Amino acid sequence: MTRKQKKFTAFLWHRRAGLTAVILVVILAITGIMLNHTARLQLDSRYIDNSFLLGWYGIEPDGTPVSYRAGDHIITAWDNKLFFDQHIVTDLQQQIHGAMAGEQFIVVALESAIILLTLEGEFIERVSTSISFTNIQRLGMKYNRPVIETSDPLYYIADEHILDWDVISNEGIEWTRAHTLSDEEREALLVSYRGNGLKLERVILDLHSGRIFGNYGVYVMDAAAIALLWLSFSGLWVWGSRRRKMRQKRHFQKHHRS
């Protein structure tokens, strides 16, 4: 006759749940403790400057900035945003091909549009140039007025109000050149782009809730929390069972010792 194998189901599932959820439970516990001591650990006054994390949160600009000098100011296009010095002016949907300061306006040339700013950087107008031309290659200046070179190549000079464009020859035009940002200028742009920045507290909170990995991360953390609940109840059950069995064993040994 074979001995019937005892099934200690609760213990087996207690062990399985624990092994499966160990990493998540550790994260839950550690981040939970950190959040309990937010003030002491200064989580709400420390900011993240790790590029990977900032990129993960979508507050690190993509690509390389392209800048031009416009008088005493710098016009930069970076990650679909137009900057006047370090201030974000507007969104961009096209590449920048030049910027210059004229008598009345700052002119920014895109692929098939012109953006006009005041000399103080206030947005005036965005104009599609498809009425006159497209495929802008570069921006220049002649008689203090903006000049556009297209891909044909043809050259167009604006009137004083930047309303209309006339064809001119390619003579005596001063073409704008890209400006290389200094480290300070680049840092100022980054600070402006990031806005208030990313607090360490935010990251810890998102890690604790699983939200750092999106909606599915939340469900995974929910599962870890349920696993923790299961571990608690199954642990209690196992403890209760063992205690009962120990009592039974002691009783048997006491009354059946020969």
Partner 1 sequence: MNRTVSHHLNRQSFIFSGIRYALLALVLLQPAGLLAGGVYQEPDAFIAEAFDGTPPKPSVLWLDKELKQQFADILAHPYKGLRIRYWQQQDKSAWILEEIGKEKPITVGFVVRDGRIQQVKVLVFRESRGWEVRHSFFTDQFKQAGLTERHQLDTRIDNISGATLSVRAVSKLARIALLLDNRVNETRTSQIDTSSRG
d(CA 18, CA 223): 12
Q: Which is nearer to partner 1, 95 or 248 (CB)?
A: 95
CB of 112 to partner 1, least distance (A): 10
Q: Which is nearer to partner 1, 126 or 202 (CB)?
A: 126
Kindly list the strands in the beta sheet with 73-78, ordered across the sheet, starting from the edge strand earlier in the chain: 87-91, 81-84, 73-78, 66-70, 178-179
Q: Which is nearer to partner 1, 49 or 164 (CB)?
A: 164
CB of 161 to partner 1, least distance (A): 6
Q: Which is nearer to partner 1, 33 or 131 (CB)?
A: 131
The DSSP bridge partners found for residue 78 are 81
CB of 232 to partner 1, least distance (A): 45
CA-closest candidate to residue 93, choices 81, 108, 75, 83: 81
Structure tokens at 6: 């005892």
- Site residues (CB under 8 A) for partner 1? 90, 118, 122-128, 130-132, 161, 163-164
In degrees and rounded to multiples of 5, residue 85 shows phi and psi of: 55, -120
CB of 131 to partner 1, least distance (A): 4
**Taking the CB of residue 145, how many other CB atoms lie within 10 A of it?**
19
